[in-house]
Amino acid sequence: MIDLEKAQEYLDFGYSKTKVAALLGSHHNTISRLVNGGKLEIYEAFDENVEPRSKLGSCFYEENHIDDLLRQAAESPVILNERKDNDYYDVGAYIRNEFGSIKSFLCIQDLEYFLDEIFIKCGCDKLFSLADWYEDKGKLWGLSSVCPSCRGEISYSYVKRNPEKIFNLNQTRRTKVDALLTKEEYKEVRSRFNWKCAVSNTGNCITLDHFIPVSWGFKCHYSENIIPLTKGLNSSKNNRHPVEWLKSNTSVRITGRIIRILSGLNNLTQGEFLSFIDWCFDNKGMFVDDPRFPIEIWREYTGREFPLPSYVGMDYSNEVTNEKQAG
């Protein structure tokens, strides 16, 4: 049994529920239940002439804990989850419930500076700043329980083990790009880049993007023109010149790798492929009504001689078959 009189005395003195529980040999949840049930009370100082500092002003021990954390972070970087003192879990839950996450709290208080001064250490021993750590508003402090690196590996491993399931789950929210691919083509496009984003090499939030944008007015819905990108990179690329966009958003090595893969799929040398992309960019909107693939138009327009890639022949064979059947 808890000595209620002693517990109330400690609370009146300003001790936290966790501290009171420790002094009485109990658990902090027991003290919380007694407070919520009205058997114990936490009194708050009130001065009508003083404006409250923040939402934390209503909970002294949480505010003290955060103030102490920020003071230390101002002097030197702090690893948050290595400070597991008595109040760590109470304060973490309070921040999550009241603000969503410690990141949101710092932004609300105009303390974004500390996003780069407070760190989290993952179970894999990697350190990431709050600025780089994912939020998860169902977890303590509103932060994911694993680092961005581990999270990417988990997503990547799951997608690689369950390609059919991922394909089927995405059916109800697929983009125009996905909708025109068969399951086999979808797997082929994703596997070309090891089931990851072609640029960032991560496995999170992958979408499929037309390398030559559809808005340029060409027939671009074929798997050899599609690369996997994260949602953010897909939005960034938009309808920009894809090679110029790559040069400004990734390394020479990664740009070269993507160009090498796509040029091979189109039966072109890397130099020819770059010339082909430049030509498409310079002739945007000029061949909107032409049913041919852009590589066919480019070969005819420039007078170049080279074997067309297999996807052109397959499409032509299908058209001939359909015409014979119609005849």
Q: Give residue 294's domain range.
A: 173-326
**Would you say residue 98 lies in a domain?**
yes
Higher pLDDT, 63 or 32: 32
Contact 44/58 with Cβ under 8 angstroms? Answer: yes
Would the CA dihedral through 190, 192, 195, 199 be positive or negative?
negative
Report the pLDDT value the prediction gives residue 323, as an integer from 0 to 100.
40
The answer to whether residues 187 and 283 belong to one domain is: yes
- 31 found inside a domain: no
Strand order in the sheet with 118-121: 78-79, 118-121, 127-129
Residues 206 and 307 reside in one and the same domain = yes
| Higher pLDDT, residue 51 or 24 | 24
* Lowest mean per-residue pLDDT among 35-49, 86-100, 141-155: 35-49
Are residues 181 and 130 part of one domain?
no
pLDDT-derived band at 319 (thresholds 50, 70, 90) equals: very low
Distance between CA 271 and CA 275 in Å, rounded?
A: 6
Same domain? 193 vs 322? yes
Same domain as 320, residue 184: yes
pLDDT surpasses 60 at 220: yes
Residues 281 and 186 grouped into a single domain: yes
71-75, 134-138, 304-308: range with lowest mean pLDDT: 134-138
Query: How would residue 241 be classed by pLDDT, with cut points 50, 70 and 90?
Result: very high
| Domain identity same for 235 and 107 | no
In a domain, 8, yes or no: no
β-strand pairing of 127-129 with 78-79: unpaired
Tell me which of 146, 161, 194 is where a domain ends. Answer: 146
Q: Which of 96, 131, 146 is the last residue of a domain?
A: 146
Tell me, yes or no, whether 180 and 297 share the same domain.
yes
For the ranges 79-83, 116-120, 178-182, 315-319, the one whose mean pLDDT is highest: 116-120
For residue 194, give Cα distances in angstroms to 67, 127, 159, 188, 231. 46, 26, 11, 10, 17
Nearest Cα neighbor of 312 from 211, 208, 216, 223 is 223
Instruction: Tell me: do 177 and 117 sit in the same domain.
Output: no
Q: Do 179 and 108 belong to one domain?
A: no
Whether 198 and 225 have beta carbons less than 8 Å apart is answered as no
Domain match, 241 and 138 both: no
Q: Across the chain, what does the average pLDDT equal?
A: 78
In sequence order, the β-bridge partners of residue 129 are 119
Task: Over range 130-158, report the average pLDDT.
Answer: 76
pLDDT digits (tens, 9 = 90+) for 16-34: 777 788 788 887 778 877 8
Q: What is the arithmetic mean of pLDDT over 214-227? A: 89
* The pLDDT of residue 293 is above 80: yes
Total tally of structural domains belonging to the chain: 2
For the segment 165-210, what is each residue's pLDDT rounded down to a tens digit?
655 555 544 445 555 678 888 888 888 998 889 998 887 778 889 9
> Between the ranges 68-72, 165-169, 246-250, where is the mean pLDDT highest?
246-250
The per-residue pLDDT for 290 is 87
Confirm whether 306 is domain-assigned.
Answer: yes
Cross-strand bridge partners of residue 229? 207
Does 113 reside within a domain? yes
Q: Is residue 34 in some structural domain?
A: no
Is residue 257 included in any domain, yes or no? yes
Rg of the chain over all Cα atoms, to the nearest angstrom: 29
Any long-range contacts for 282-290 (C-beta under 8 Å, 24+ apart)? Answer: 284/215, 284/216, 284/217, 285/216, 285/217, 286/217, 287/217, 287/218, 288/217, 290/218, 290/219
Residues 73-77 have a mean pLDDT of 85
- Regarding whether 94 and 54 lie in a shared domain, the answer is yes
Q: Identity (one letter) of the amino acid at 309?
A: P
83 part of a folded domain: yes
Mean predicted confidence (pLDDT) in 281-296: 89
What's the pLDDT at 43?
67
